[in-house]
């Protein structure tokens, strides 16, 4: 930053976009144009710290993960992973993998795809691009906290657009209109939604597309739960609805393969190379073994079998959860999720959600996500993608903890 080189002062000026410029020998102190601070990602810190230190983890939003052997068996192929060269792979994803991803999106080609290290890098890279579009974002809430946390860290203005629970967790379009009229240059939407598991209706998708197109705004659509529907057809993508759409996805949730850390961005081909260049600063390339296994998972026949497995787990375990909820004598208010192995439930008990989640962790060795991590106290996000016996044991421990709260009061 500021220092001495060959007897001269060296100063720098930081830019978020474009090529860095270094002004040498100027008698002025270094002053960054953008201040970047760290805004903690509360939910991720909570999960990352404790998910492997409890007996039952009900904080996850995906189904019970596959093993490598199970994935290979589902493919029906004889795969020799031992022959995989552990060098740098193609840094935007292998040609084969990008073609397999593109086949899922109407009108996309391998030139429309950037493979990333997980959905987190896909979201980060997309955010980095959209940051150059302006400092105000409309965020449909509640939502997964990564990009909103990045917005706060970079000092951007976040305009919340609430989902209305009374309308099946559909957006408040008056609030969206106000946010865009007030200068929001892009809209962040997670569909199917995290934490509610709700899918936007076709009417809501149409309205969001029409509104953003009219204002010249981008849509950043995180579609990681598509394919994990509890009933009905696969959730439609925002891809191709207008020219300013970025879609992110990964193998973590609907595929049960989070350990591969394999995600992607679908974007206009003219933009993909710019997005690809940004990953030169982050992870450089997806892991070679992950790329190979992802190709296996996304072959059409294997992908169909994985989808059947995922939806089977979601449907069966949602039935288990609903029976348990119904037996709780009005303790919970919830809307059954449309997709994902998550249920967002309001509870009737005299205790805050973080306090209750901490009690569950310390006294019952069960991990859940408290609603105040999404800005909504007295809610819990319950994951139900676990093996059935583990899920039932975890739910029984939650019931006992709520019963104890009632007795204490």
Q: With 60 as the cut, is the pLDDT of residue 26 above it?
A: no
For 103-139, give one letter per residue: b (16+ CB within 10 A) or e.
ebbeebebebbbbbbbbbbbbbbbbbbbbebebbbbb
At residue 267, the pLDDT reads 98
* Tens-digit pLDDT profile for residues 173-187: 999 999 999 999 999
CA 348 to chain centre: 28
Q: Is residue 258 part of a domain?
A: yes
Q: With 90 as the cut, is the pLDDT of residue 5 above it?
A: no
* Tens-digit pLDDT profile for residues 267-287: 999 999 999 999 999 999 999
Q: Is residue 372 part of a domain?
A: yes
Q: Is residue 277 part of a domain?
A: yes
* Cα separation, 333 vs 136, whole angstroms: 34
Mean of pLDDT over the chain? 92
The pLDDT of 319-323, averaged and rounded, is 98
* Tens-digit pLDDT profile for residues 227-262: 999 998 999 999 999 999 999 999 999 999 999 999
Residue 277: both structure tokens together: 């260049």
* Element (DSSP H or E) covering residue 321: helix 300-326
Same domain, yes or no: 175 and 118: yes
Same domain, yes or no: 140 and 112: yes
**Pairing mode of beta strands 56-57, 366-367:** parallel
Q: Is residue 186 part of a domain?
A: yes
Q: Which of 7-11, 34-38, 39-43, 135-139 shows the lowest per-residue confidence on average (mean pLDDT)? A: 7-11
Confidence category of residue 22, pLDDT binned at 50, 70, 90: very low
CA proximity to 391, closest of 329, 314, 330, 312:
314
CB atoms within 10 A of CB 246: 25
Confidence category of residue 329, pLDDT binned at 50, 70, 90: confident
Alpha helices in 193-299 (DSSP H): 202-215, 269-278, 288-298
354 burial type by CB count under 10 A (0-12 exposed, 13-18 middle, 19+ buried): middle
At residue 33, the pLDDT reads 56
Cα-flanking dihedrals φ and ψ of residue 162, to 5°? -75, 145
Instruction: Tell me, yes or no, if the pTM score tops 0.95.
Output: no
Number of domains in the chain: 3
Same domain, yes or no: 266 and 341: no
What's the domain range around 235? 80-299
Q: Is residue 75 part of a domain?
A: no
Same domain, yes or no: 356 and 381: yes
Same domain, yes or no: 335 and 364: yes
The residue out of 281, 299, 317 marking a domain boundary is 299
Q: Is residue 9 part of a domain?
A: yes
The pLDDT of 146-154, averaged and rounded, is 93
The pLDDT of 118-147, averaged and rounded, is 94
Place of tokens 């896909």: 122
CATH number of the domain where residue 190 is located: 3.40.640.10
Same domain, yes or no: 129 and 165: yes
Q: Is residue 56 part of a domain?
A: yes
Same domain, yes or no: 285 and 329: no
């Amino acid at each position: 930053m500021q220092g001495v080189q060959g007897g001269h002062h060296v100063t720098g000026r930081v830019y978020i976009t474009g090529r860095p410029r270094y002004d040498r020998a100027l008698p002025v102190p270094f002053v960054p144009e953008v201040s970047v601070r760290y805004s903690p990602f509360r939910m991720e810190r909570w999960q990352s710290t404790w998910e492997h230190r409890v007996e039952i983890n009900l904080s996850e939003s995906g189904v019970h993960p596959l093993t490598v052997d199970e994935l290979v068996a589902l493919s029906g192929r004889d795969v020799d992973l031992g022959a995989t060269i552990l060098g740098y792979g193609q840094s935007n994803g292998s040609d084969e993998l990008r073609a397999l991803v593109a086949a899922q999106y109407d009108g996309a080609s391998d030139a429309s795809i950037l493979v990333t290290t997980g959905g987190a890098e896909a979201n980060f890279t997309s955010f980095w691009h959209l940051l150059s579009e302006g400092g105000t974002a409309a965020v449909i809430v509640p939502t997964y906290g990564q990009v909103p946390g990045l917005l706060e860290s970079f000092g951007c203005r976040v305009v919340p657009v609430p989902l209305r629970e009374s309308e099946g967790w559909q957006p408040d379009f008056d609030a969206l209109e106000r946010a865009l009229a007030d200068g929001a240059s892009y809209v962040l939407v997670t569909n199917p939604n995290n934490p509610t598991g709700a899918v936007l209706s076709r009417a809501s998708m149409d309205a969001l597309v029409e509104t953003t197109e009219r204002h010249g705004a981008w849509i950043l659509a995180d579609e990681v739960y598509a394919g994990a529907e509890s009933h009905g057809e696969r959730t439609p993508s925002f891809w191709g609805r207008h020219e300013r759409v970025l879609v992110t996805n990964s193998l973590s949730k609907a595929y049960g393969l989070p350990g591969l850390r394999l995600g992607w961005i679908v974007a206009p081909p003219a933009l993909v190379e710019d997005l690809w260049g940004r990953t030169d600063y982050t992870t450089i390339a997806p892991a070679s073994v992950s790329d190979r296994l992802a190709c296996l998972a996304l072959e059409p026949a294997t992908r169909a079998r994985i989808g059947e497995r995922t939806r089977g787990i979601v449907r069966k375990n949602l039935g288990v959860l609903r029976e348990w909820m119904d037996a709780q004598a009005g303790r919970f208010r919830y809307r059954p999720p449309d997709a994902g192995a998550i249920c967002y439930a309001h509870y009737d008990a005299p205790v805050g959600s973080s306090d209750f989640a901490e009690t569950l962790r310390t006294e019952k060795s069960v991990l859940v996500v408290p609603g105040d991590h999404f800005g909504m106290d007295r809610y819990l996000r319950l994951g139900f993608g676990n093996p059935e016996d583990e899920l039932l044991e975890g739910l029984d421990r939650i019931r006992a903890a709520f019963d104890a709260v009632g007795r204490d009061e």
